[in-house]
Chain A
Amino acid sequence: MKRMFKKVKVIVLSLALCSFSLLASAQQRTIKGVVSDASGFALPGANVYEKGSTNGTITDIDGNYLLNVSSVESTVVFSIIGMQQQEVVVGNQSTIDIVLQDEMLGLDEVVVVGYGSVKKSDLTGSVASVKMDNLPAKPANSIDGLLQGQSAGVQVNMSSDDPGAGASIRIRGGSSLNGGNDPLVVVDGFPIGYAGDIKQISPQDIESMEILKDASASAIYGSRGANGVIMITTKKGSKNTTEVSVSQQNTISDFTSELNLWRDPVLMAGLSNEARLNGGLVPFYIGANDANGIYYPSVKELSDGSWQYNTRWDDVVFRNPVSNNTNVAIRTQTDKTQFSFSTTYFTDEGVYVEDDYSKLNLNLNVVQKLYENITVGTNVIFSNGSRNNNGGLAYWRNPIFPVYNNDDPEQGYFMIGAQDFDHPVALTENRINTNDFLDLISSAFVDAQILPSLKFKSQINYKFGRSISDVYNPKIYTSDGTNNNGAAEIKNWENSEIVSETFLTYNKTFNEVHSLSAMGGFSYQYTETRFSNLYAKGFLNESLGTGNIGVGTPEQQRVENGISETVMHSWLGRLNYVYNNKYLATFTMRADGSSKFGANNRWAMFPSGALGWKMHNEDFIKNLGVFDELKLRGSYGISGNQGVDPYLINSRYGQDQYHVNGSWQSAIGPGYVVDWDDQTGKKTWGGIPNADLKWETTQQVNVGADLAFFNRRLRITADYYYKYTTDLLRERWLSPSSSYDKMWINDGEIKNQGVELTIDGDIMNRNDWRISGGLMLSHNKNEVMSLGNASTSGLSTDPNTGMEYEFYGNTIEAYRAIPSILGIGEAVGVFYGHKVDGIVQSEADGLAAGLDGKLAQAGEFKYVDINEDGVIDENDRTVIGDPNPDLIASLNLQVSYKNFDLSMFFNSSFGQDVLNTKAFSEPNNMPLRWTQDNQTNDYPSLREGRNIYMSDWYIQNANFLRLQNLSLGYNIKEFGVSWIKRGRVFMNATNLFTITNFEGYDPEVGSDGIYWGGYPRLRKWTMGVEFTF
């Protein structure tokens, strides 16, 4: 019966098609007209096409068009970006003049949410949607860069200018200490991983991004949703036309400020001598050989010009880097096929010479309608690139030494003793350090409309990543190479992931007022990571580099490898209900089971619920005539974080080798190295299993409102959230007599709460002018609520306040202390240390302040005796700063006039403290030291070997306002040839200026708030052109 029905259907369909085409040829006709906007201005460049065909044209400079259509029944579509699309049935008209209305932004926009999409107006959760068409062209080379300033509550911190570097992205603060705080990234339904280094996708290929911020939106991703989710939709075939677009961008960068290096060797040498003499040590610059046999000129030699060298090492090490980004895309669509192919070639230079990055990216997307009700599609993103690592060169090298012996390249590099492994030119020319990587992201789906109201979708995703790095450290110039007579290593890494997801969606409206949508399905995920590292040492002939490391000394060859697998099973469901287009309700549920966790806690449930009220559809609001939109939203949900390594539930043995009777034997047993500091050789030991290990759980409440006024020209979104995270994944310390240092447990609680406000406005839209702007404000406050049982987790107690705390982060050598703590009742990572009240001016002054010995001498820091016991010791420490900002604000402004457009993006952050570790060790602050002749209260004296305590003297306010991006574009609409549809030329500058009181190069540091110095940030100047054919 079914088969029969199908046959009948086919026959009817083909008959219909035949007659249609017959009619078409018979009734072809021509139409013409003018397209203009509401003010009567002609709209050049508007698309005019026959619906359901590729037949179309664009309007000329006066808004005129001429189009041959196939029949009187044809529908003609008029569209241009920024205006509402209009459709007109041709009928008997031969002239059709059209007035396009401004687009009511966001009204019927569809936004992508996990496992489906909803109308923006029906959202109950906190979701920000970014349509790439609405963005001014930014020379971003990664998704991370594009996200900056797009949504309140999304903090994008780009603290590195290295080529190919990622950014740190935080949605609503950090809710985890160790489980990771990066949001999940989902590309076309494929959860590919965590944000921060999503280098596989070219920004040009992105259609839109949705940021799921609250639990109602993100809980559908369950155990990976706690940090929010970024949904990325890539560009598909373009509507009803064939378009080829080409874009070319080139960027050149320079430092935002002068480098703070020693330019005056006399001053440098004088201060060095002063510091060493004050420290009771023999000064260097006395015109004698040091312990390494290197001659250091005296200050006199330097000042009277008899010493000839003053090398500007930064000129040797740095360059003005240039990057290139070329993109070519072909997109087409027919009735049944959507096709898109895009390729990007990107090269990026680091600021260090020969520190390079290049990447080729291919993106192929095909969607095919097999039948009226079945669609299949596939998407393949392939990228392949390489990196030559040459960063970290010694731009800070002593200027009194030349690059080459006697300044003559023929005479070889000038080395500072036998153990000099920092010569930048020697390293650049002799060392190999490269990395090649390859990434594949692919998916295939089938979408079947089983019943008019029931849809089936199944998608299989496969991701593969590979990286090979090659390092060769030559016999001279490198420490590793010198100690091993040449050292080579090849590191292979490979990761593959399969995600298979299948779900059913049911959509139906009952009695015209009850609109119901239900979704249910399951997901399976398998991840495998493998690595193998090959090491060889002792090379007689170094000319092969890493090409054949088997020629190294046979006994010195070593291999390491490993494999790690994780599996996750999930069940998920969502129910959306809308009553009378006024009342909205959403419920989601996800159950995740992960192999990372012990049998006791393997499965967890992540439910959420949200309610919304579209008040603007109520008569009493409508009658006010004020609101175009007034929607209240409220949600509650639970999401999780499973960002820890697998196998923590297993006991784990370590391995080494022991030399028995002249030969090496494998040594295996309990306890393995979980952490190994390469510099100090210090190891941290683990290996105790935790069968009870489980997810971090974050509960989140969100209350928000969406408002629109003045014909939607003013739009406001406001949200308040409260996030409470429990069962923090934490590495607790163990008593050393157990022989283990650490193990993973669930312990501790963190609270985050904040408000977000977004105001968007179309300020002016008249004649040729369009001005719009957006302001985003977000405030987040976090607080450590608990770190588990004080006696079992080894918390310390502040003797003055009773605050329980533990140190958080790494030791800073200069202070011989970890500067940050997790303190109960404090924000995450606040600074902990002494307070300084100026500088000791005399020994009596110092003794009176409770200092003794060397610390009481004139010119020392005057530490404050906080507990007033007459002694300065570790009991005088307190919380001295908070690296978390109080307010993050950004402002977007867009102005266009005729074919010109200008956009500006300001970014600012207020209320964060930064630990400036370079506050008294740089050429611009050391000369300000205390001396007998300069009895300042701002800087201590120079004294080598001073024991410096971590103190608030090093903490500085790092408020800043930055013009992050300025872009000027010109849209070319008149080419005189029909085959060029659109063109655009633009210029862009990032990081143009920064207003701040912070003393270092740049106030934007990592989330730990520690400034390490280095070199200034880059300002990037980009020129770009784009053409669409």
Chain B
Amino acid sequence: MKTINKIVLGFAVVLGLSSCEGLDVEPKSFYSADNFYKSIDDARSSLYYAYDALTLTSYAPLNYYFGELPTDNCNVKPDEGADAQALVNWEVTSQNTLLLEYYRSAYIGINRANAVIANVVDRGFEQSEVDDIVGQAYFLRAWNHFNIVRTFGLAPLQKNFINTLEQTTTGLPQDMQEVYTFLIDDLTKSIELLNVNRVVGLADKVAAQALLAKVYLYAASAKSSGVPKYDVLQASADELYAKAAEYSALVLTGQNVYGHDTVPRNIYSINSPDGPEHIFILSMDRTGTNEGDFSKISRYFIPSLGGAKFFVKHSDNTFEKTLDGWSVFQTTSNLLNSYGSDDRRRVDLMTTEAYDEKDTTLVGNVSDGTVAYEFTLKYLDADFEGEKTSVKPYLIRYSDVQLIYAEAVASGGEALKQYNQIRKRAGVDELDAMPSKEEFRKLVIEERRRELAFEGDRLWDLRRNNMVQEKVVEAAGLTPEALSFYPIPQREIDLNPNIN
């Protein structure tokens, strides 16, 4: 009987030992609300997660799809997907998956920023650190919301961190006044909390000022040009222009870290993301592991020659290696014709030829059909590894802010000076005297097109000035509403009962 007892006891011990594991099993290999935001390092890491949303493959390349394809700058290659064709042809429906991807990605950025705002304050961390982190989170929340507003018009404003099912059905804002109040509020807080502090890949006070200037300019020109839904803004167009002028002036004169780079090619040098022009640049690097960490942005702009790489010849007769492209965004002749024959931005930053490995032999060019179109040299990385490049989208450039200032003020010597500085760098005639406000603003828009070509800006300039139909033949016959805003994605309409 003793033996039996021993055996039973033995089993009991084993059972007892193993049974002490209860039914509450804590996750051990991922972070959650329970074990995160314990230190300022956690807070900073979650801020980086919010920045990281901007690098998503469903987001970063789409800035160019939307900024360039529906405009007079670029066409899409013939065998690109139907959703991209629809952008070019202005046949975008709520089922368009590019819309959905862009929309969802912007909200991913917003929710990550909201997580920072909701979880970092009042944790007893060092206040200056908290201000820096939260200030950037406000900037990112506004950045993403601004993308949403420009693309979709009235769409949900996410003011709180979403972490439960009940929070997933935010309705639409009442009107544009509510939207712009919210955007301006976020950026004002951001400016208050941040200092001037250049870090490649992050935004600082200057970036927030620049973005706020952009927001005011968008509202001002939209209201003055009669873009639908902007009539409700309480401030007059002039007041809004004045605000745009005020904040862009702060960028131009209120700091000495960023500035005007006088050599066009320097701006786009792969090795100087910390050049004076770059107020906000998206940080991607060829040492990354997945797309988004590294960049494939160049491939969209560079034509496909079928190989792995080829060489381009610069205007100074030097050669530079580039990864082969996909021929997705194909330059229109309309854009080419907008440059004067000696405009540095075409001479230095575009080419029609491809060379082989030995630097000297011409592989082909546009006229013999080997190269499908004249293409931009703004996105070159000679040190690419496989298909990984360090090409970084230029999110806010000093030149952009100079032109914002010029457009907003549109009178007097300072506006003319900023405008002429851009013209001078391009090697084209400067303007002697200030024309009428209206005329000058038109000139600035066209200058913006030449300066910011291939940087994902054109559609927004056309939309806010109500110029889409004037410039894009494919947009003929559309309603003002359809010209100004894309439809909210169908999945949002299907799943969000607070949006009819």
Do they bind each other? yes
Q: Is B291 an interface residue (CB 8 A)?
A: yes
- Pair A792/B48 contact, Cβ less than 8 Å: no
- Please, how many angstroms separate the alpha-carbon atoms of A796 and B34 in the complex? 37
- Pair A816/B164 contact, Cβ less than 8 Å: no
Q: Is A105 an interface residue (CB 8 A)?
A: no
Q: Is B18 an interface residue (CB 8 A)?
A: yes
- Pair B103/A736 contact, Cβ less than 8 Å: yes
In this complex, how many residues of chain A approach chain B with their Cβ under 8 Å: the count is: 94
- Pair A292/B163 contact, Cβ less than 8 Å: no
Q: Is A654 an interface residue (CB 8 A)?
A: yes
Q: Which of A455-480 contact B (CB under 8 A)?
A: 458, 460
- Please, how many angstroms separate the alpha-carbon atoms of A463 and B200 in the complex? 51
Q: Is B96 an interface residue (CB 8 A)?
A: no
Distance in Å: Cβ of A879 to nearest Cβ of chain B: 20
Q: Is A558 an interface residue (CB 8 A)?
A: yes
- Please, how many angstroms separate the alpha-carbon atoms of A681 and B299 in the complex? 16
Distance in Å: Cβ of A103 to nearest Cβ of chain B: 39
- Please, how many angstroms separate the alpha-carbon atoms of A535 and B156 in the complex? 41
Query: Which residues of the partner chain B approach A418 to less than 8 Å between Cβ atoms?
Result: 306-308
Distance in Å: Cβ of A806 to nearest Cβ of chain B: 10
Q: Which of A291-340 contact B (CB under 8 A)?
A: 291-293
Bits for B106-134, please: 1 = Cβ < 8 Å to A, else 0.
01101110011000000000000000000
- Please, how many angstroms separate the alpha-carbon atoms of A290 and B283 in the complex? 36
**Minimal Cβ-Cβ distance residue in A for B24:** A595
Bits for B21-50, please: 1 = Cβ < 8 Å to A, else 0.
111110111111110100000101110111
- Please, how many angstroms separate the alpha-carbon atoms of A526 and B25 in the complex? 11
* B1, B110, B158, B168: the one within 8 Å of A734 (CB): B168
- Pair B115/A657 contact, Cβ less than 8 Å: no
Q: Which of A127-135, A192-200, A645-653 contacts B (4 or more CB under 8 A)?
A: A645-653
Interface centre among B31, B199, B307 (most CB of A within 10 A): B31
- Please, how many angstroms separate the alpha-carbon atoms of A482 and B324 in the complex? 14
Q: Is B316 an interface residue (CB 8 A)?
A: no
CB contact under 8 A between A735 and B29, given known A460-B14, A602-B23: no
- Please, how many angstroms separate the alpha-carbon atoms of A3 and B3 in the complex? 12
> For this complex, into which size category does the number of interface residues on chain B fall?
35 or more
CB contact under 8 A between A736 and B489, given known A293-B306, A646-B25, A816-B82: yes
- Pair B27/A647 contact, Cβ less than 8 Å: yes
- Pair A659/B168 contact, Cβ less than 8 Å: no
**Minimal Cβ-Cβ distance residue in B for A530:** B29
Query: Which residues of the partner chain B approach A482 to less than 8 Å between Cβ atoms?
Result: 308, 386
- Pair A651/B32 contact, Cβ less than 8 Å: yes
Q: Is B195 an interface residue (CB 8 A)?
A: no
Query: Which residues of the partner chain A approach B283 to less than 8 Å between Cβ atoms?
Result: 658-660
Query: Which residues of the partner chain B approach A655 to less than 8 Å between Cβ atoms?
Result: 30-31, 49
- Please, how many angstroms separate the alpha-carbon atoms of A293 and B356 in the complex? 13
Q: Which of A787-805 contact B (CB under 8 A)?
A: 791-792, 794, 796
- Please, how many angstroms separate the alpha-carbon atoms of A458 and B13 in the complex? 12
Query: Which residues of the partner chain B approach A374 to less than 8 Å between Cβ atoms?
Result: 4, 7
- Pair A794/B494 contact, Cβ less than 8 Å: yes
- Pair B18/A500 contact, Cβ less than 8 Å: yes
Q: Which of A176-184, A666-674, A822-830 contacts B (4 or more CB under 8 A)?
A: A666-674
Distance in Å: Cβ of A658 to nearest Cβ of chain B: 4
Q: Is B165 an interface residue (CB 8 A)?
A: yes
**Minimal Cβ-Cβ distance residue in A for B81:** A816
Q: Is A661 an interface residue (CB 8 A)?
A: yes
Bits for A482-493, please: 1 = Cβ < 8 Å to B, else 0.
111100000000
- Pair A688/B168 contact, Cβ less than 8 Å: yes
- Pair B28/A563 contact, Cβ less than 8 Å: yes
Q: Which of A53-61, A564-572, A628-636 contacts B (4 or more CB under 8 A)?
A: A564-572
**Minimal Cβ-Cβ distance residue in A for B169:** A735
Query: Which residues of the partner chain B approach A458 to less than 8 Å between Cβ atoms?
Result: 8, 11, 15
CB contact under 8 A between A669 and B49, given known A737-B103, A739-B107, A816-B82: yes
- Pair A737/B170 contact, Cβ less than 8 Å: yes
- Pair B42/A733 contact, Cβ less than 8 Å: no
- Pair B200/A660 contact, Cβ less than 8 Å: yes
Q: Is A898 an interface residue (CB 8 A)?
A: no
- Pair B15/A524 contact, Cβ less than 8 Å: yes
- Pair B51/A658 contact, Cβ less than 8 Å: yes
Query: Which residues of the partner chain A approach B202 to less than 8 Å between Cβ atoms?
Result: 660-661
Q: Is B298 an interface residue (CB 8 A)?
A: no
- Pair B306/A483 contact, Cβ less than 8 Å: no
- Pair B285/A659 contact, Cβ less than 8 Å: yes
* A293, A595, A653, A734: the one within 8 Å of B31 (CB): A653
**Minimal Cβ-Cβ distance residue in B for A790:** B494
- Pair B30/A593 contact, Cβ less than 8 Å: no
27 A-B contact pairs sorted by A residue (CB < 8 Å): A446-B7, A458-B15, A460-B14, A483-B386, A498-B18, A526-B18, A535-B289, A538-B385, A562-B30, A647-B30, A651-B34, A658-B52, A660-B51, A660-B283, A661-B199, A666-B45, A670-B163, A672-B30, A688-B164, A688-B165, A690-B165, A737-B107, A739-B104, A791-B497, A792-B497, A796-B494, A816-B82
Q: Which residues of A contact B (CB under 8 A)?
A: 2-3, 6, 290-293, 370-371, 374, 376, 417-419, 446, 448, 458, 460, 482-485, 498, 500, 502, 524, 526, 535, 538, 555-556, 558, 561-569, 593-595, 602, 646-647, 650-662, 664-672, 681-683, 685, 688-690, 733-741, 743, 745, 791-792, 794, 796, 816, 945, 947
